[in-house]
Homo-oligomer: A and B are copies of this chain.
Amino acid sequence: MIKETSSNAVNKAFLLKSCRINGALDIISGRWKALIIIHISENTNRFSLLKIALHSISDQTLGKQIKELEASGLIIKNIIAEVPVKVEYQLTAKGEALLPILSDLSNWSDI
């Protein structure tokens, strides 16, 4: 058994960190995901509103990206039983927590 040196500990921590960063980037690096999150945070929170806001997106693509964001636990959908049916999306706590990071990224790209 190899003794756990501090170097090993650092490497493990580093490895873990690396994995998490890639995971995080996987979650938000879809072509529209960051934008969708920002829009929802500003109450552009319905399918048709998002479609207008992201004017060059197709139904299909918007649907997919929304689904993936749901699966990642960043947004949840509220189905309001009216006729016609109405659906609103909102950010989860995790989704909210992403907002300041996106803001940092936006500022960073100005450097």
Contact = CB atoms under 8 A, between A and B. Distances in A.
Interface of A: 14, 17-18, 20-25, 27-29, 31, 34-35, 38, 42, 93-94, 97-98, 100-106, 108-111
Interface of A: prevailing SS: helix
Contacts of A109: 20-21, 23-24, 27
A44 to B, nearest CB: 10
How many copies, total?
2
B108 A98 contact: yes
15 contacts: A17-B103, A18-B35, A20-B110, A21-B35, A21-B102, A21-B105, A22-B34, A23-B109, A24-B106, A24-B109, A25-B28, A25-B34, A25-B105, A94-B111, A101-B108
